Structure 1
Amino acid sequence: MRIDYHTHHERCGHAVGTLEEYVRKGIEIGLDQLGLSDHMPLIHVDPATYLPEMAMPMDELPRYVEECFELKSKYKGQIDLRIGLEGDYIEGWEEQIEAITTAYPWDYVIGSVHFLGTWDITDFRQTQGWEGRDRLAVYEQYYDAIGKAAASRLYDYIGHIDVIKRFGYQPDSSVTHLEDAALEAVKRYDGALELNASGLRTPAQEMFPSRRMLERARDLGIPITLGSDAHQPERLGQYLDDARALLKECGITQLATFDGRKRHMIQI
């Protein structure tokens, strides 16, 4: 079974390609299931005054869902489309997030932490945010948010759980205890994780999560799904062969899939 549950398209502003181009590419590379999962619209910052090209406008959200369902019907029998959303977790905005995650018939919602306040720690244009900060304190804030995202039960799985390492900024001291606490929160609230292969094309030079975290997730019995985090159709499925190989090396033999907000396990 070949799946890719994490993709973005032109509506978000910082990806290219139409939804249909991703669907056709998925068929071309032999995916069995393709998850369409663009970014949730910004809710805690003013899109008009924030940095451009961060997420789809709110008025595009219903059009996005409608197009997903049209494509699901059009390509039925050729590829199994799952309709999703990458939903930011922003502390204090849980009610507004829930309004979005319950307003549409999603198959799944990814819970990702991109923002610490108004700072997007995953945006290459905002790496100056690290300047003058205590890196350990930033990691503590980040993993605290991951734990709260898991506890909110707003999401079906946590996306790129250690993406904070993306640009190579690391504290001098170990953060293993922070990582493990976040994993334990995911387990406590019956969540799942993705193995996000896109880390291999970032300065971090490893997937999200790291092998150590993946093995700890295995020991805890946390279900795992797969995503390329493609922002271009030609990157759909990128590094997922490596990701499947890593899962097998770690003794993980099943993948989590999602349908109507319900989790199903399949063999890799």
Structure 2
Amino acid sequence: MKNENNIINDASFHTHTFRCKHATGEVIDYARNAFEAGSRTLGISDHVPLPDDRWPEARMAFSELDDYTDAIEFAQKALPDLKIFKGMECEYAPEYHSYFKDELLGERAYDYLIGAGHYTPLAGTWINSFENLKTASALKAYSTYLAQTMESGLFAFIAHPDLFGCSNTHWNADLAACSRDIFQAAEATKTPLEINGYGFRKPPIQSTEGLRPRYPWRPFWEMAANYDIQVICNADAHRPKDVLANIKDAKCLANAFKLEIIDHLPTPGSDTKKT
């Protein structure tokens, strides 16, 4: 039986490094902390640099990609008993489809990519999804973008799909409609959705229901139970000490709504149900 004070067998596939400019620590620091906590699997997934170096305030420069790759490979050699997966967290840009597929997943042999919507394309520009998903049009753009991301077939799962919890204080019909679109796309493409542990560590939001995490947002995951989808629970660590943080909280939420949890790295578009 697993000791409640132990995190043995927990794995996280969402881990950042200092390169994204809003995290601390090198790959080896996260890897050592995970191994010492009893985990034998870890995914490293810093924010992807794009060839045009857009959004430089929150990700490494394209010129740092080799260094990041080398840091993961160094940790893999230093800790051979820890299975370290090489990944990236990505905003899908259709013009860079071949970069994701042929260079990252192909030439550089990345194990996986995470799809995310930190930014949302709307009316010819990109809006900040943490702050600006407040209107029906913005929420529709967000769900459309996540659906496009899933339909690309490139991404193992979608990070914090309920990110709109950061910019809304109460649940409403527009949020429910946005959520339905996300669930339908996840179901159609067989893309797991992430219950993200980082939201538990951020300052809570004062809502009409009282204090709550910015995400995960319970009404979203309650709706998820109506769809044939799977969830993956990750720490989204930005500090080495948080490498496996709040995974239990994420799993508790999933279990509350009887959601199917996967604890392995899924292949994009595949049926990950174990038989």
Deviation at 1:226, TM superposition (A): 1.6
TM-score by length of 1: 0.81
- Of 228, 249, 258, 2:235 maps to 228
- Conserved in 2, the CA contact under 8 Å of 1:257 and 1:265? no
In the alignment, which residue of structure 1 is the partner of 2:117? 113
How far residue 209 of structure 1 moved from its aligned partner, in angstroms, is 4.3
CA distance in 1: counterparts of 2:89 and 2:167, whole angstroms: 21
Q: TM-score, normalised by structure 2?
A: 0.80
Change (3 A) 1:40 1:209: same
Change (3 A) 1:6 1:99: same
1:8 aligns with 2:16: yes
Query: In 2, Cα distance between the equivalents of 1:260 and 1:62?
Result: 24
Tell me: CA distance 1:134–1:76, structure 2 relative to 1, closer, same or farther (3 Å): closer
Change (3 A) 1:160 1:36: same
Corresponding residue SS for 1:148: helix
Q: Which letter does structure 2 place at the counterpart of 1:238?
A: A
SS in 2 for 1:230: coil
Instruction: Pick which of 214-223 and 137-146 moved more.
Output: 214-223
Flag the 1:250–1:259 CA change in 2: closer, same or farther, 3 A. Answer: closer
* Residue matched to 1:249: 256
The match for 1:146 is 146
TM-superposition CA deviations, 1:70-125 (whole Å, max 9, x none):
21122122x222221101123554344434443422222100011124545256xx
- Shift in alpha-carbon separation, 1:209–1:87, aligned structure 2, 3 A: same
Amino acid across the alignment from 1:257: H
Distance in 2, matches of 1:108 and 1:155, equals 7
Aligned to 2:245: 238
Q: 1:197 touches 1:229 (CA, 8 Å); kept in 2?
A: yes
How many residues get paired?
254
- CA shift digits 1:117-141 (9 cap, x unpaired): 4545256xxx4xx4xx962211111
Residue 24 (structure 1) aligns with? 32
Moved over 4 A (4+): 169-173, 259-266
Unaligned runs of 5+ in 2: 1-8, 206-211
Structure 1: runs of 5+ lacking an equivalent: none
| 1:67 correspondence with 2:71 | yes
Q: Pairwise CA RMSD of aligned residues? A: 2.9
Q: What amino acid does structure 2 have at the position aligned with 1:136?
A: A
The 5 Å alignment of 1:1-268 reads: 1-43=9-51, 46-47=53-54, 53-77=57-81, 79-90=82-93, 92-103=95-106, 104-117=108-121, 119=126, 121-122=128-129, 127=131, 130=132, 135-168=135-168, 173-200=173-200, 201-204=202-205, 205-206=212-213, 208-252=215-259, 254-258=261-265
* Deviating more after overlay: 29-38 vs 139-148: 29-38
**Partner Cα distance (1:225, 1:140) in 2:** 24
